[in-house]
Each structure stands twice: as structure tokens, then as C-alpha cells.
Structure 1
Amino acid sequence: MKLPRPLRAPRTISRRTVSAFAGCEVCETAGLRLLCGAVRSRFEDDLWDLRGLADKARSVKPYELVWDFSEIINTSWRAVTKEVLLALLAPHHDSVMACSLALRKFRSPRTCRRFLNRLTDWFNWLTREGITLLEDVTQEHCDRFIDEQQWWVPEPGKPRQQVVPETLAESVRVVQLITLYGELLSTDSYRAGFVPWNGRSTLEIVGTKWLRGNRTPVAPDHILQPLLATCLYLVNEVGPHLAAVSEQMRVAAAERKELPFATVAHVPALREVIRRMRAAGEPLPEGVVTKRRTSEELGILNRLAWHHLAHRVGVRSISVVHLRPHIVPHLISLAKTVGFAGPWARDAPTIRRDDNSQPVAWTGPLTDNEVDSLIANVLTACLVVTCALTGMRNSELVELNVGCRRTTQLAGRTRYRLAGRLIKGKSMGGVPDEWVVIEEVHRTVGLAERLTGKPAGSALFGEIALSMRLKRLREWLEETGNRERWGLPLIPKGPISARMLRRTLALSIAERPGGLLAAKIALKHISVATTEGYAARPGGSQRLFLAEAEEAEEEVHLRLTVEAFHEMKAGRKPTGPGARSLIEAYQHVDARLQEAAQHDPKVLQDDRHLEGLLRKQAKTLHIGPANFCWFRDPSKALCLKLAGTPDATKPLIGMCDSARCPQATHHQRHRPVWIGQVITIETFVESPRVAKGEKQRLLCERDRAQRVVKEIDAASGTAA
């Protein structure tokens, strides 16, 4: 929230005798729709219950919509808080419009709930300080309150920690809010002319600068790669078999509801089932181990899933008390002979292990609880894949419904979409939106729909809570031994969130073809899908994500340009057809840098001035798999000449022949790629299956790759 500047309070304030909102219904005044039968809170109530909002987003937690004003000790300040919050919810109310300093933009209930917490802290702090009237508040009180608010104790007995400036800034804002609505308040307000901190900006008050850059960290590669490998394996290999089991469970549960209860008349059928199981050596169905007080002999049956045994006979359940004399001795004897095993997936088909591709049964026999646990963890894998390969926010993931998948045919190709809602920056409840996704995501969401078994329109993933779900996934893989069974990598401990996955994808697209996801996912396909989604819905979610990726791309290109400059200064010069022009450009920049250093020597220690000089050069950079393309002159681009598109505004990196293009350069970072090409070609040349003529062509490619490696080594001073 940005407060008006300069902020000046009226010199005289005529206090209202009755609140402008007296007798009003909160939601009606704010223009918020309620569900039929929902609680209708009135302004005078000390508890506002907004949980019945019809248009609330799923990401809004129920507790955020229950506002308890009784926690404010001073009763007159409860009215102040109510008036301020309702004014934020209803900025177009006539009385709010009459306030010269009032904010004119609607604030969501979630934002207002945060302000309620801060106002409660502020007013109760004043009460503890012996202040009973807001007229007595001074700048000293404001400063002392903020000094205390900047520290918090995460756990009792632990050292206190300092909150981040942005969090502290919110406490400053609510202190200043009272000034904005002084003309509206009816019970108390600051004295005439008093403006906390004399109207200075909140970030200036807390001693920081507004950092516009995205500071969300990327998911560490040592966590991301095994996590993605595990989740993709669960989705592609385990998921389809598990979905079949889950569907069988739901069918069996539905059938069981229609069956009768067992009676003595069913005893012969029960004995026949027991006889057949003994003859086949089939274990009894295992369920949850109960802790009933029974004799040691009967205790063996505490592991028995009675409802599964009953289903075999065509009844809903078996009353042990009434049928015990008839079947329990037979069951005890059978249990001692064949034992117990989960009733599901007893003849599990094989899948390939992730580490060595050897066949292994996808699971052992599963109990009902084990199937439920497996479903929950594979759903977590579906969530990770969807989030990591789309860049969706938490608020967008939670809005996905069962049945959200869409497919269209365009130019002979299938396009995949997910229908959802865009919440961020939109009005209450958001607006309908669609994400264009790759086929892997479309298939993953389809698997999640099969696993949940919910009707169309139900929430697909429910609460996101990705960090907690991943913690359970790690523990489950180890405790069940499934990680060893499937040959999956160990997922190291560490923080992973939907925001981190979104940031990682944006940076990976910006850094392609060397992005963090490149080892497992075709980033080019994701980038194309994201761009297509933006073109189809320019105001949608993918526009915001694409803008974030493009901003990150600019940052990456500038960083790589600066790194190449420093490498040249250190004696590691670029090579390739475009090396000379790049070196000349860098020499020109270096001359200007030295000239600036004569007036301010600090420019040599800080890259900020250098970045300004190289920004124009960085805008021409395009990253290839084995080279940098400095696309300054389209008429010189070899790829455009080969494609017959000389008027294109971007190079065709996929057609790049960097050994011949006059705008391509090779750097030390590209050496491993060229070495890898040499090794690959030599492998093919040694193969007897490759035709002789093809070997001659490959040898020419190998010689060129070796020449590039030698040039890089010579320019870097590492040649043998």
C-alpha cells in the first residue's frame, strides 16, 4: 500500500457523533456477495464472520475471514479499527469519498485481516503504555512502537530475530492509516495536525530501499534434480498402475454400500471362501492393526481386514460377536498357515527401475491405508511437476478443478490448456484464465484427476503447502523402502516452495540451453507454450510469468556479458568468427571505464558503472548451446541467410553454425560442449554399423570441433 505524499492531516477535525457505518451490514456495504444462509455481520458486532463470501479464492484460509475485534482492549479503538477496515473494503462509500486523504483502491479481506493484526498490536501497545486517547499519541510513541516491532522471538527461550523491512513497513502503514481517515472516525483520532513521521514514506522510515527485483531464491540444483527425477518417475511409471488400483478401491467401496450385513445364513459361504484360500495358499487380507483386548490366540486376527473378507462373500460386514463360534477357529488356523498380505496389487506388474532400468514389481501387496498414503504422495509428485513445468503461483494451483484440461487442434498439432482462475491483481475471486502447457503437464493433471476420483468442479490439489508435502514425501520414500525398490535418488533436505519453482523455471528459460531444468525437461517446449499462452490471453497469468522470464533473461544476458568482459581482462579472450568485433567493443568500453575512473576510482571496484556501459551490448546477446551469438547486424547472420529470412529480428539459434557465423563467439564455458561432441563423434566413427561415407562426414565434424577446442585453449592460455 502506497500512502499519498505529502501527507498532511487537517488542522481541525470535527468528530462525528455517530459512525458513518452505524447499522450497516459489512459485506453489503463493501459490495461483497454472500452465499445463501451465510452469517451477515453488522458493523457493531465485535466478531465479523466473512467465511460465507461467495467469491473468495480458495487460497484464502478460513481464519483470515474471522475478525475478532474484542482482542483490542480499548473499546473506543475497536470502533476506530472497524471504521478504518470497512473504509478500506468500501472505498466508494459516500462517507469515505468525502475523506480527502482516504485510499481510493479496494483492499481485499485478506489484506484487511493483516491490517487488523497490526492495528491490534498498535492499540494494545498504547494501552500498555498508559495511553487512553489517540489525541495523546506523539512521535515518540510511534518510534518506540516500531523499535519494538522490528524484533520477534521465533520460539520461547530462543534469541530474538529482526523482521524483514517490508514486514516492519506494514506496521508503519497502519500507524499512518489513522491520519488518512481522521475525518471519518467517530470515537477517537489523532490530534489535529499530527502526522506520524511527518508523512515520510514507510520504506524510508524503516531504513531500506524499495527493491523491485525478484528476490525469491531458485531451487538449489542439488535438490531440484533428484526431486524432479523422483516426481517424474512417480507420475510416469508408478502413477498409471496406482490410478488403476485407486479406481478399483472406489468401485469396491461403492459396491459394499449396497450389500447386506452377514448373518448365520452366510456361514457356509464364509467357510467355502476360507477353504479356497487355504487350498490356493492365499494370504488373508491385511488391514489396520487394532488394539482390542483379546486373548493371545484371537489377537492374531487383529490384523484382518474384515470388510475385504466380507466382500468376498457378498456382504457388507461380518459381526465377529455373532459369527465367531462358526468361523473364527477356521480363520485362526488359516492365518497361521498362510499369514496376511495387503489385498491390493498382489500381482503387481513390473516397471523399470530409475537407476538401471531393470524390471521390478511396481509395488508389493498394499493395505487400504498404504494405498491412501501412496496416492497422497503421488499427488504431491503431480503437484511438483505441474508447478515446476508451468510456473503457476499457489493461488493459481489451488484454483485448478477436476476437469480443467482442455485440448484444441491448431495447424495439425494438439494444444494443451488448463482452465483456472487468475487471482493476483484481480478483483475479489479473480477472473477465469487458461494456461497453455506442454503435454507432460496435461498428462500429469489427468493422472491427478484419476487419483482423486472427485467429481468435476472439485478442487484438484486442495491445499498446496508444498514444503510440508515434500517433507512427507521424503520421509515416506525412506520409511517404506520404495526409494530403494525403484532405484530413485536421495532427495536432500532443504527448502522448496511453489514460488521457488516458479522462479527457477523463469531463470531456466532465461538461461537456456543451460538452465537447471534442462537435464530433465525440454525447456524450449515450455517456452513456446508460455509464449503461446501469452499471445492467446494477453492479460492472463502467462503474461505475468513471461514478463518475469524476460526480465530474468535480461539480467542473465547482462551478467554473462560482464563475465565475458572480465574474462577478457584476465587474459581469457573469446574465439570464433565474431571474436575480433567483440574484443574491439570491449576495448572501447574499457577505455571509457578507465576515463571515468580518473574522476571516480570506485567505478573500477563496482560493476554498476560497467553494467551501464555494457547494457546495449548485452541486448544483442543470444545464448546458443555451444556459443554466444551477438546479433548486432541481421544481414551478417548466417542462420538467417540459410533460412532465407534476412529481415528477422532474432537469430535462429537451432540453425546456428558458430564456426562460420561472423557474429558467433566461443568462450571457456563452451569448451565442455565441444569436447562432448568430439567424444560422441568418435564413438560413432568406431561403430561398425555406421556407413563409410557417413564416417567421412563425421570425421570432418570432429576435426572442426577439435579445432574449436584448440582455439579456446589457446585464447585461454591453457593449450598444451
Structure 2
Amino acid sequence: MMPRPPAPAARPRRTVSAFAGLDVCETAGLRLAPGAARVLFEQDRWVLSALLDAHRMVKDHELIWEFTEILNPRWRTVAKEILLALLAPQHEAVLACAHAIRSVRSPRTCFRFLQQFTDWFNWLTRQGITRLDEVTQHLCERYLEERHWSVPTPGEPRRRLEPDTMAEVARTVQLPVLYGELLSSDSYAEGFAPWEGRSASAVVGAKAGGPNRVPPVPDHVLQPLLATCLYLVDVVGPHVADLLDEVRAAAGPGQDLPRVTKERVPAVRQVLARLRATGEPLPGLAVTVVGRRVGRYGANPLSHMSWGHLARMAGVGAFNEYAREQVLPEILELAAEVGIERPWARQAALIARADNGQQVPWTHPVGEEDLQLMANYVVTACLTLTSALSGMRTSELLELSVGCRRSRSVPSGGIRYGLAGRLIKGKKFGGVPDEWVVIEQVDRAVALAERLVHRPPGAALFGSISLSSRVNNLRGWLERTGNREHWGLPVIPPGPTSPRMLRRTLALSIAERPGGLLAAKIALKHISVATTEGYAARPGGSQRLFHAEMQTAEEEHHMKLTVQAFRDAQAGILPAGPGARGLLDALRHVDAQLKDAARTDPKVLADDRHLESLLRKLAKALHVGPANFCWFRDPSKALCLRLAGTPDAKRPLVGLCDSARCPQATHHPSQRPVWIGTITTIDALLDSPRIPKGEKTRLLPERERAARVVAEIDACATAPEAA
């Protein structure tokens, strides 16, 4: 143990806390439910569970603050004073602290600080430190280095934590300095500031404002996941909801039915006689219930039979022992004759398999528990689609309630779909009302989820948003039950999935317009329009940051495409199309500027930032079409604007694009597969006997144009650039 330095002269300190005797919630402006117990500053256990404005991201344990976990009693007071100062920065005593944080911190944030204070203060106690004025820079650095490493996991090496994670640790160590004038029981030595007052981010090397580091969901996971969720929501889900309504209606009066007694045995025998006459099987139990029953009582000929369902068929609630013994021989005989089968969906409607369109029953016969489990996994599919096609954060998904759907007609004749919720991030505790504009597929998924969860209006729609674990469970259920093979669904490979990753994936997909299921089955342009409408309607709302992220990704993608076009031209892979000459002139101009820079400063040639700077204006003019690039540098030359009669428009009308004739359109090798696909589709239509002769005549020029574009792309990709 290091020798204890002599205690320096203590700074003048309050003899009594500025918060002594105060009600914590009243001081912080937090609303408690009527009749809830008050939380006083002196208490060592603050129970904030009755906060009226607690949003759904707040977990129960985050509202119970145990200061007794801090071993040194005087440091419990330090933690209380700092945390209440963070909750109530406008308190008179806090305003007297020159360096105090002036913005309000939420109870969730303060709970994290309490955890950090507990770790820091108890670490000091283990080092033999009893007063904060004994803390030195050496101790701070030792503590930070120890916390830099992850908790040991058996069989895995420890890893250094990310700087963003460590910034909160360093910030907690520094907080007592900011509130030195407020602290009454202990404080750091006069003039001491951990890391000499440098910011926590600078101490740990965290960089603010860097690129988005959230990875998108890998495409080999995303495509089968979306295909599965779309199928479950659009094809299977409505059947599940209809059957679930039937089961709930049938189970409704069952709670009040009498038990089977001696007098009601004849009613059961009547049901058995009817089953024998019609050949209908006895009702079976759900798969999960059978497993539990066999494990508990052992197997027997009636292990799979549902006694409760049979009782309800006879108009009674349950069998007592006498009644069961009376009818047991008859049931055993009937089971051998007609068998046992789960009672619901015995004649299920037919649906088309996802892979080949073959008609199959939408489900095998199921028990009530099987059906409820299936409904839960369809809700997971609804959640996944809502997250993947809207870009909502976890906090926003959690705030969706039953009855949140909003739709209204727009002047253009369409319908605008919206989801009412709350914006939590960056707002006061509890958030503010908000609305997220979405596309029809999301509205349909939310409507199905509302039917399946069967909760009252205002209740949480999705409950937990543990998307990675829910998707893993969905994958396991599909394989375990054989439903994946029955419905012809693709295998969902294991891989990470979270709302943050799906949000990033959607932003990149809108920006880059890739191929695959997301582009083929979901109108990315519609999502982009919905996001833009939501941003325009509420510039400070939920979709503001997603709209900005989407635009940033689009700008980065356009820059990459422009740089690639420049590199291709340098390699002799030239663009085709009417706008090729103009694009090449622009690229030659940039190339000349680079060569001129190489003569004056050779180092810039190795720096792509200089090239990107020269190409930035050209990249801003780029608009990516489905089969061409539009370099929208001169609106007066845009064919689409001339056709629409809007020559002063600021953006091209991609829907009217005729890239084979527009003087600003170019074709590149990356777009060749799209044109080949057009030719293949037209050939299939020309060979079809169902297509009228006149329609085939109309298609021939389209095919010739596509073939001409492909030939031009091939020729320009191999021909040397003209001098």
C-alpha cells in the first residue's frame, strides 16, 4: 500500500448540504404518480419507480438508486449532491458552481453516473484512500487503465474497450471538480483536476463527429430475413390473426363454465358419440404442452389429448377425477378408432409457397399454445419490417402503442401513412409527441401486430425490442417446426441484426439503390419520399436525423461513383450514352488540374481528398437512375424537364428519363446487367402466346434500344479514348 500523503489544507466547505431536507423529485421537476412515496435527499435508497414521465426505454432497475453500495458513507453524500445537481441544474446552489453542467441530465443518465461513482469510490476504498483530497493523478491513471479492459470471459482474451465507452469513466472521475463549491462532505484537494482539466474525450482519445461506424446488416443475412418477414406478414400473418380471433372467441366463455361432475358425464358421452359418428379425431395438445406432460407424468395413449378442449366441447370447464374415470375407457377406445389431432386449422386454407408458388395449407393442425407461439413470431416479423423499412430507433419503436397508426389523404390523391409515438433522443425526460411518416408496408405490418397482440389502446405494441435475440428465436422456430421448409422460405444465416444496423442499411440502400430483395419488393423511392415528407412536416422531429444520415450517405455514394468514373476513364473504360462526351470533357479538365498539381506538389497525387475536392461539383450534379447516370449540370438540356414543361426545376424527373436520348445521361459497365435483364424480359414477352400481336410490335423498338445500349457499353469499355 502506498504511503498516505499528509492531508492538505481543506478548502472552505459547506457544513450542511444545500439539498438537505429537500424532496428529490420536486427539486428536479420530476412528476410522481399521486400517492407515491416521497424521495428525500437524506435517504440512502432513492426509489423513482413512480415517475409519470418515464419512457419505455427506462428499465425498472434504473429507477432504484442504492447509495449504500458505496462503501464510504461520506462519498454517498458526494454522489447524491452531484446527481441531484445534474437533475436540477437551475437550483440556486448549482448555479453558484462556475463550472457546473447547465443542461438537464435524465434519470437514466444519472443512474449510469451512480454506477460509475460506485465503481470509482469503491476502487479508492480498496486502495486505502479514505478522503478525496488524497486522490492523485497517478491514482486516476491507474484506475482508468484497469477499467480499459473488458470483463474476463472464460476461453476468450480480454480486450480494450472503445474510447467512447471509456469517456464516461473519465468524465465521472472529473465530475467532483465541477461541483467543488457544492460538495459538503468531501472534495478533491484545492487546485487538483484529474488530467489537468482536459476533456474526457481527449483523455481517452475519443473523436467527435467522425464517420458513422454502425455496420449495415450483411446482405447475405438481410435478403433472406426480409423475404421471410415479408412472407410471414403478407401471406401467413392474416391467417394467423383470423384463427387467433376464433380461438379467443371460443375461449372467452370458458372461464365461467362448471366442472364435469357425475351429472354432466352424459354430455361428454354425447360429444364422444358425435366424434365417432363423424370420424373426427379427439382434440390434441400443443407440441410444447405434450413435452411438458410426458416429462412430468410419463407417456401413455392419451398423452397427446387435450382434456380441457374436450371438456369445452361438452360445455363444461374441466374434468374432476370421478368424471375422468367414468369416460376413460370410452375415450381410449375412441382414440384407437379416430385418433388424436390438434383441434385448430384442421382444414387450413391454401397459400402459395414462397419459392415455387405451389399451393400448400398455410399451417398443419395446431393447438392453442402452438398458435400463440406462431403469432409471437409473426409479431417479430412485423417488428423487423417496421424497423427495416422506416429507420426508427429502438426508443422510437418502443414508444409505438396500440392505436398508433395515422393515415390521411393527400392532395395528390394518395394516402400518407404515419405512426404516432414519442421522440426521446435529445428531448426532455419522457420525450415529446411525434409522428413518423412511413410507407404502406409498414402500416400493414403495424396493423397486423395490433391484431395479434390483442392489447388495449395505448399499451406498448412490441414490448421488448431485443431484435437480435428475437430474430435468432424466429430462425430456430422455423427450423424446429419445419415451417421454413413447408412454406418454401430461404435459410436465414446467423448474423447480427439490430435496429441501429437496419437503420444504417436502409439509409445506404436509399442512397445507393442496390439490387436484391429490398430494391425489388420494396419501393426505396417511396421510403425516401416518406422520409422527406416526415422531415418537411416536422423539421425537428424523429425523421430529421435519419433524413440527414440518408443525404450524407447519398453524397458519399455519389462521390464514390464519380471517382470510379474518373478512374475508369483513366484506364480506358469510357462511358457510353448521349452525355458521354460532356462527362469526358469534365473528367479531362480534372485530370489536367491533377497533372498541374503534380508538377507543383507531387504529394497531392497520393491523396484522394484532392481528387474528391476537384470532383465535388461534378458529384453534386450526379443523379443515379435505375439504368443510367444523369449528370444534371444544365437544366436547360434535361430532356425530362423539356417533356414535362418545367425547364426551371432544380432536380431531374427520373420517372420521365429517356437515357438513350438525353444529352446529360451516360451508361456505364455497372449498368449493363440492368439492360441485359430488360432484353431478357422483352424476349420472354415476345415468345409468350398470351401477348397480343400489337403489343409485341410495340415492344420491338424497346428491345432494339436496349440492345443498342448494351452494344455501346461494350464498345466503350474496350475502345481506347479518343484524343
Return the TM-score normalized by structure 1: 0.94
The correspondence for 1:92, drawn from 68, 90, 93, is: 90
The alpha-carbon deviation at position 205 of structure 1 amounts to 1.4
Between stretches 177-186 and 126-135, larger displacement belongs to 126-135
How far residue 327 of structure 1 moved from its aligned partner, in angstroms, is: 1.0
1:695 to partner: Cα distance: 4.0
SS class of match (2:180): coil
Tell me the equivalent position of 1:460. Answer: 461
Aligned counterparts of 2:515 and 2:295: Cα–Cα separation in 1:
63
Query: What is the rounded CA distance, in whole Å, between the counterparts of 1:399 and 1:392 in structure 2?
Result: 11
Deviation at 1:709, TM superposition (A): 1.6
Distance 1:303 1:693 in 2: 63
Tell me how far 1:294 sits from its aligned partner: 10
Instruction: Give 1:522's aligned residue.
Output: 523
- 1:701 aligned onto 2:699: no
The 3-state SS of whatever aligns with 2:227 is: helix
- Please state whether the residue corresponding to 1:299 is helix, strand or coil: coil
Of 573-582 and 372-381, more deviation after overlay is shown by 573-582
Letter in 1 for 2:397: L
Q: SS of 2:300's equivalent?
A: helix
Alignment-derived partner of residue 714 in structure 1: 715
**Structure 1 position 202, deviation (Å):** 2.1
Q: What code does the residue aligned with 1:354 have?
A: A
User: Is the 1:508–1:516 Cα contact (8 Å) retained in structure 2?
Assistant: no
Distance 1:692 1:308, change over 3 A: closer
Which runs of 5 or more residues in structure 2 are unaligned? Answer: 1-8
AA paired with 1:141? Answer: L
The letter of the residue matching 1:344 is: W
Alpha carbons 1:685, 1:695 under 8 Å: kept? yes
Once the two structures are TM-superposed, the CA of residue 401 in structure 1 deviates from its matched residue by: 1.0
Q: Which residue of 1 aligns with 2:400?
A: 400
Alpha-carbon contact 1:247-1:453 (below 8 Å) kept = no
Aligned to 2:628: 627
1:511 touches 1:556 (CA, 8 Å); kept in 2?
yes
Q: CA deviation at 1:702?
A: 2.4
Distance change >3 Å, CA 264–CA 76, structure 1 → 2: same
Q: Which amino acid aligns with 1:246?
A: L
1:177 maps to what in 2?
A: 175
Task: Indicate conservation of the 8 Å contact 1:13/1:182, yes or no.
Answer: no
- The one-letter code sitting in structure 2 at the alignment partner of 1:634 is P
| Matched residue, 1:304 | 305
Q: Counterparts of 1:49-198 in structure 2 under 5 Å?
A: 49-198=47-196
* Structure 1 contact 260–315 (Cα < 8 Å) conserved: yes
The answer to whether the 8 A contact 2:283-2:342 is kept is yes
Contact 1:30 1:86 (C-alpha < 8 Å) held by counterparts: yes
* Count of residues paired in the alignment: 707
- Which runs of structure 2 are paired with 1:213-232 in the superposition (5 Å)? 213-232=211-230
Q: For residues 600 and 49 of structure 1, do their structure 2 counterparts lie closer, same or farther at Cα, with a shift above 3 Å needed?
A: farther
Contact 2:226–2:517 (Cα < 8 Å) also in 1: no
State the 1:555 CA deviation: 1.3
Give the share of equivalent positions with the same residue, in percent: 61
Q: Do the aligned partners of residues 648 and 501 (structure 1) sit closer, same or farther apart at CA in structure 2, a change above 3 Å counting?
A: same
State the SS of the aligned residue for 1:303. coil
SS of alignment partner, residue 436 of structure 2: strand
Displacement of 1:185 after TM fit?
Answer: 0.6
Q: How does 1:73-472 map to 2 (within 5 A)?
A: 73-287=71-285, 288-289=289-290, 291=293, 299-319=300-320, 321-411=321-411, 412-472=413-473
Counterpart in 1 of 2:4?
A: none
Report the Cα offset of residue 12 of structure 1.
8.6
Residue 597 of structure 1 deviates from its aligned partner by 3.7
Give ranges in structure 1 of 5+ residues lacking alignment: 1-10
Structure-2-length-normalised TM-score? 0.94
Which moved further from structure 2: 636-645 or 503-512?
Answer: 503-512
In 2, Cα distance between the equivalents of 1:542 and 1:523? Answer: 16
- Report the AA paired with residue 648 of structure 1: A
One-letter code of the match for 1:703?
Answer: E
**The residue matched to 2:302 in structure 1 has which SS?**
helix
The amino acid of 1:702's aligned partner reads: R
Q: Distance in 2 between matches of 1:716 and 1:431?
A: 55
The CA deviation at 1:718 is: 7.8
The CA distance in 1 between the partners of 2:218 and 2:582, in whole Å, is 37
Partner SS state of residue 437, structure 2: strand
**Structure-1 separation of matches of 2:557 and 2:255:** 60
| Cα offset, 1:598, TM superposition | 4.3
Letter in 2 for 1:596: A
Task: Pick which of 585-594 and 658-667 moved more.
Answer: 585-594
Q: Is the Cα–Cα contact under 8 Å of residues 223 and 516 in structure 2 kept in the other structure?
A: no
Alignment counterpart, residue 24 of structure 1, candidates 22, 25, 34: 22
Tell me the alpha carbon deviations over residues 363-406 of structure 1, each in whole angstroms, 9 at most, x when there is no partner: 11111221121011000001011111111111111111111112
Residue in structure 1 matched with residue 6 of structure 2 by the alignment: none
Alpha-carbon distance between aligned partners in 2 of 1:323 and 1:683, rounded to the nearest angstrom: 68
The CA deviation string for residues 236-268 of structure 1, in whole angstroms up to 9 with x for no partner, is: 111111101211222222211122222211111
Aligned residues: CA RMSD? 2.1
2:572/2:719 contact within 8 Å kept: no
CA distance in 2, matches of 1:189, 1:558: 53
Contact 2:573/2:719, CA 8 A, preserved across alignment: no
